[in-house]
Amino acid sequence: MKPRDQLTDLAHLWGARPATDTDWDFAIWSPDRDSLDLMLNGVTHPMTRDADGVFRARLPARAGDSYGYMLDGQPVPDPASRRQAGGVHDLSMLTRPPQAPSPWVGRDWPEAVICEIHIGTFTDAGTFQAAAEKLGDLAAVGINTVEVMPIAQFGGNQGWGYDGVLPNAVHPAYGTPQDFANFVAVAHDLGISVILDVVYNHFGPDGAYIHALTPAFFDHGRSTPWGPAVDFTQDPVRTFFFQNAAMCVNDFGVDGFRFDAVHQLVDPSPEPFFHALTGGLRAMDAGRPLHLIAEDERNLTTDRDAGRIDAQWNDDFHHAVHCLLTGESEGYYRNYAADPMADLTRALAEGQVEQGQPRVGASRGAPSGHLPASAFVNANQTHDQIGNRALGDRLITLAGAEAMRIAHALLLTAPYVPMLFQGEEIGSRTPFPFFCDFTGDLADAVRNGRKAEFADFDGFKGDLPDPLAEATRDMARPYAHPPEDAGEWSRLTARLLGWRATQVMPLVRTGGAQPARVRTTGTSSAVASWGYNGGHLYVAFHFDRLPDTPHLWPDTDARLTVGAPDKPFGFCTWTTPA
């Protein structure tokens, strides 16, 4: 099957869809079963099984009707449900696709400036509609892309979204499918691209009836850190996720995806699942560029080399900055604590730090210096790096505002794709602790697991925020209580991104990128340069202490400064023509 066909000509193996003005088709792949009944509006109907293990039925119905599949005498929701009548344990509800989004031309990937947002805490209301009304504030400071944390329906009301169990159904606490389509439309009207974070490597622990309905969906000889592994070698399994990706592009209008933990998308097939998925997306005629980003802890470059994805999250950059500014050395920071300045200079020069060379801990990765700067999404803070801390504290609370201004300037003016976490553009100190909404034994397991995880973390002996409490979620809203210097930070962000738009990106567009040159000038200072056909971009910075070799900041109009050359914290960026 050609890549184009994989996402545009999908066989109906999953879910409910209109067949005529009065009839709907229902389908589910369940090859381990000999029979299966569908319940529609409280009435049970036998389904017909084909030779491939797909159960089908065509019945008179209309949008808004409830349906589900009979499991041990009880109706359960459709794993491919596009909308629920309530929570993840309730019946599914027939729904038509949202109103088709208006066309827009999209954006070129290298110019992306991303803000990662979580719909439930981005605003006080925690809805798509409220988030849409907030997007103008991001556009005003120069942010042109939002990366939306997962919105697939999960158990309970609140959560990060990585425990989704119904990938095709938007989480109802955030709004309706049409509300999400409207959110995307508002973003496009503001010139903002929308990247959707999707989780295809596992299902959450609460409400995933697919395990019982379709055991063959899973590789029972392998597991992930979050539950049973998906068996991507089977075409119906692939179709389930292809269908989700196509829906998000065609029905909601999203401009691409951030794929969670692709190192767990294990598939020994001649054409692995992730290759087929990205190939299908690349072949779609969406009328706009589709941007594909991976989270991949292996630090490999093969998917970027082959053009399957545009970029990977570059945690190496974050870890180097974090260790340099905090001195922390526990857990995954151990490899970056030995010489964080050397790691930061390597990240500025070559993208990744860990490229297969011997390190303090286990080595990983492959050489990355040949990749363009746009192949790396760099960040000083992300939901992971903030939220996986005991108290969910931001880097600014650990390192201080002066240091963060310099780190902020470095992130936003280097040619790599920068990503902020919601509120970072206003200097938010609001934490982003882990929160969820499970009950019973599962809730107790989460509480106990969090306590065990941080029992000896950096000497932490305090009380953890209760991950099950609504107050823990509420404290994660960065705009509810902005810092006193929010205006100052907004102006700084706008100034930096204005420089990026008028000086950095025009230079990058001239092409002919040359290997970066970076030299340290002290224990926490360096000068870096990137050459292009149109000239050179320079940055010079120092944290907390003056350089051993003084920086000579040029006296030119084509420069931007933060701090001063003779103060403990300083930053300067400038350009020169070819």
**260: annotated active-site residue:** yes
Residue reference for tokens 């931001």:
394
Q: Where are the alpha helices (DSSP H) in 373-519?
A: 383-387, 395-399, 401-413, 440-453, 470-474, 486-499, 505-509
CA distance readout (Å), 31 to 4, 217, 234? 27, 9, 11
In 3-state terms, what secondary structure has residue 241? helix
Strand order, beta sheet including 559-563: 517-522, 525-532, 535-542, 570-577, 559-563
Contact 416, 314 (CB under 8 A): yes
d(CA 299, CA 505): 26
Contact 369, 351 (CB under 8 A): yes
Residue 542 CB-density burial (10 A; 0-12 exposed, 13-18 middle, 19+ buried): buried
**Other beta carbons less than 10 A from residue 99's beta carbon:** 12
CA distance readout (Å), 351 to 25, 300, 336, 416, 515? 49, 12, 15, 8, 11
Which member of 295, 343, 424, 437 is catalytic?
A: 295
Phi, psi of 434, rounded to the nearest 5 degrees: -70, 140
**566: annotated active-site residue:** no
Q: Where are the alpha helices (DSSP H) in 265-339?
A: 273-283, 302-305, 315-326, 334-337
d(CA 191, CA 200): 28
Contact 238, 232 (CB under 8 A): yes
Position 171: which residue type? Answer: H
Which member of 65, 260, 315, 424 is catalytic?
A: 260
Residues with a catalytic annotation lie at 260, 295
